Structure 1
Amino acid sequence: MSPLSPKHALCVLHLEDSPTDRELVQELFAADGLACQFQTVETRAAFEAALDKGEFDLVLSDFSLPGFDGMTALALAQQRRPQVPFIFISGVMGEERAIESLKNGATDYVLKQRIERLIPSVRRALREVVEREQLRETETRLRQSEEQLRQITENVSDWILVFDAEGRCTYANPACKAACDLPPGGPCPDFWSHLDGDEAARLRDEFTQATRTGIVRRVEFRLRTGATHRSIESQINLVCDERGARTGVILVCRDITERRQAEEQLRAQAALLDKAQDAIIVCGPEEEIIYWNRSAERLYGWSAREAHGRSLHTLLHPAPPPQLGEARHAVQQRGEWQGELRQSAKNGTSVVVQSRWTLFRDDAGRPQSLLVVNSDARNLQLNEVQFLHAQQAASLVTLGDVMARELRAA
């Protein structure tokens, strides 16, 4: 509780050998409405004992005492209770001693001839105590916040770089330095030297736009590390000073090279499988359709956009055939199933297919994706289907692996 709170009774240690002066001080406090508990002492021994035992909000001290002087009292208080305001009340304190006392840690001094200054001096001293405590708390929170920020920036896998208004890199976190083959405590990387000319010009322009407009920018670029080019996804944020002036940018980067390679591989596989005669479908763990090739569009009549996200079996089996339960059980137990199914097309016609299911699991063994290959039994004999399955096996397994990796990364 603040010592200035009306509910808080001030604990005052008063070093004074004159009963009259002690009473006068207490009357001044009472007249001002300051609730106080006074402990009065006259000797050095009593003063030291009080400092050691009690918790005080304020120390008042005469400067001249029999066998004991105010400077010694101040030194003792500074040793034992340095955070407690110390105010001299004296009738003989000259200007030089007053200045010396302030240098040695006294909060203020009040001449007995101008005792009316005491209460304003006390209130000011107590306010300063509150302000110092608030400042200490703020500094503690700031240090904690800075430490948390340091821990975050030094342990995240994303790259974090800070650039000044001239585009010079002034900070790079360990993840960024490691990517540039620099030690964690080493200098900031020469970031721009890792960009080809066009990429560097484009990113500098993005920096300029972010600084000019104040709008967060998102940009993807290519970065060279050694002989390797990486695909980088980044966000540009502003750095502002205490007046709000824009002084630089923070660049947060994520290496998405593997994702882009997987997407390219997926597109290539999808293009290949779009040419297959069989309907090829990939479902997620809840049997929701995530891939539907061109042959599936031709066989069933639904476009890939119409089929995406819908339940495979709700879409193709309005009246589930008996074999569907058997197929689900088999694929859960053995990871694969094949057999004949009667399904429905978009126009309501019946479609009989030779169907092959393959279940892919994640690293923990949980079902991740289901690969379904359906051949129109009206146009193909079973031996033809098996021949085509053998031809397409490598592509199908690759597609399933890619799909599984993508789902795990999602």
Structure 2
Amino acid sequence: MKILHLDDSPEDLEIVQDRLVGVFPGCELTSVLGQTEFKRALDEGGYDLVLSDYHIPGFNDLDALRMAQEVCPGVPFIFCSGTIGEDKAIEAMREGATDYVLKQRLDRLVPAVGRALKESEERRKRREVEEAFQKIQATLREQNEILTRARDSIIILDLEDRVKFWNEGAAQLLGWKAAEVVNRVPEGILESDTRDQKGEIKSRLLSEGGWSGPLRLTHRDGRTVFVEARVSVVRNERGEPQARLVILTDVTEKKALEEQLFRAQRLESLGLLASGISHDLNNILAPILMAAPLLRKQESDAGHLRLIDSLERSAARGADMVQQILAFARGVSGEPQLIQLKHVIRDLLKLAYSTFPQSIKVQEDIGELWPVRANPTQMHQLLLNLCVNARDAMPAGGTLRLSAENKLIDVVQAGAIRGGRTGPHVVIEVADTGTGIPPQILERIWEPFFTTKGESKGTGLGLSTVRGIVENHHGFIELRSEAGKGTSFRIYLPADEALIAESASRHPFEAPRGQNEVVLIVDDDPTIRELLGATLTDHGYRVLLARDATEAIEHASHARDIACVITDFGMPEIDGLTLLRVLKRLLPAAKLILVSGHADPSEAQREGGGLIACFVAKPFRPEVLLGTIRRVLSVTSA
């Protein structure tokens, strides 16, 4: 970018140069003090902008402007003066000056320069478009094939809004062939559904000769099409308006991707919020789960014991809900694990019973299922997407049926289903009695962003996500649908009859007792600290309690027989991991256990670098922690 600056004050030239070069690093600024140098510089040419003081010795007030207009017409000209008055400024603008800036308000200089350069560039582009169109008009027959096959939609309208040219790009974008619209006024085809834009476009065409911006149009089949539009007035050799050139670029998919990105960012924010809240909720639930066994030992009344059982079950359900929220917040990354799908399905059923309209009857048929190796969060998302689609397909009510069964798929059965595989599978069916899927769009429902739902009711990503999850788990899908009667999705996920789900192996057991070992408990929550101490004391351990890192280090300095340290991760001033690093130096033989209601176990283990013997997520049942302590101490003694 080259700027020519005329001013008889070297100090002002230096100040302006510093301002412009600081903002426009690539700026090349030529400073001249008088008429001779100014004329020589103009003759050399190549400048993008001219700055000039208003009163220059040897010049009348507007001589510099007129000289610049004569030598380099079209180059923006800005007066930068400390003496120009309002009347003179208005006169200068009438004579063709682009703008004026008072030296007392040099903060306006950079915006004025930027605006002038931008407007100059826009004018240059409009001139190029107009010149290009004039050449196209002169050689229309030779260039018609190029325009017709252009990917962008190119449309030419005469001054009465009749279509004179309509290329293949426009036909593909809007669904109307050229023969159907040429020489006709395309009412409703090129009109944006935002009515205010029509007036704005006409106003800008009249005042500036061009307009560009986003439009939302409607395809012939009713679909919404988002485009970036450029509209220019085409003039003849005499400068008279002759036609309008409209260029439309399809940005529908780009806009859908942007919306998906914004949605992902909102979900990320919700995930961060959920992670923070889960820490507090886990600290609330942890004392309830730890206190219940202690209360049960002190109570013999059957009614009171039932209340304690109810309390413990409710706290456990709350803890499970927090873990589900955390799993969702952390995303769906990670290795698949052995799960029982009936638990995931029943979670979805609870959601459907509590949130779906009462006009929708929910039925279930879930038997004992083989275990599958899958990501539980992805399984939850898969079923949720299918259930929500089924709900939306029954606006007037109907029946939603979830069923699951074990099935051994043979060669014949696998061959009858696209992508089918042989072997043992768990088959989940989500069926509805809704509107069904029309045959003509049955093959398109798996396409990303394809949706038949109205505006703001769907992204078109639900079924494509379902298909992706199923394929990632080496499964396949069977779809049956009849318009007006309903739809059934059958999801086949590979299973192994020999495997036993971890969740099915939970049996009541007697919590292991300690052997008089010393355990240091560090937690800033007094309720959790006291309950942990009482639980461990009740099970044969000697306990030391610390409310922060300082007390923990003091205990470790005096009690060198500490066999195990249990510390919370999130504590004020010094966090649990930092504390464990210090304690490891003081107590090299002690086993270190980190507990947290917030941290990701894999992340904690990774940051611990082998320092942590075990990580336990809050809230936990006493037997879980007692079993963990006994296990790590057994390894030590071995």
Q: Same fold (TM over 0.5)?
A: no
What TM-score range do you get, normalising by the shorter chain? 0.3 to 0.5
* TM-score normalised over the length of structure 2: 0.24
Flag the structure with higher strand content: 1
* TM-score normalised over the length of structure 1: 0.36
